[in-house]
Amino acid sequence: MAISEQAIDAALKRGQDLAKAEHRAIGARLDAARGRLVIEFDNGVEMSTPISLISLILNIVADALMSAPHPLKQFPASTAGL
């Protein structure tokens, strides 16, 4: 199925609009001393989460994706390696 130039232009416009309205992550680091993943956003805000919760979060997201009726169901999600 070919994608029209109009569809591409509309998608690019939506992306530009979102970039103006939403903050983006610009960096991430591991704070090993505190056992946390720290994410820095373009507005200077930093958020962190315990490393121990990352596997739990990934499992919740994977379960939600696998139960949703859309094409992502064909891609198995795994937390292997965490």
Taking only the tens of pLDDT, the chain with its 82 residues reads 688 999 999 999 998 888 888 888 899 999 999 999 999 998 999 999 998 888 888 888 888 877 777 655 555 555 555 5
Q: Are 30 and 51 spatial neighbours (Cβ–Cβ below 8 Å)? A: yes
DSSP conformation class of 4: P
Tokens in use for 3?
Answer: 């994608």
Query: Which residue type occupies 19?
Result: A
The domain limits of the chain are 23-73
Q: What is the pTM of this model?
A: 0.52
Residue 75: predicted pLDDT: 54
Beta partners for 49?
A: 37
- DSSP class of residue 70 equals S
Nearest one of 29, 23, 30 to 45, comparing CA atoms? 23
pLDDT at 6: 93
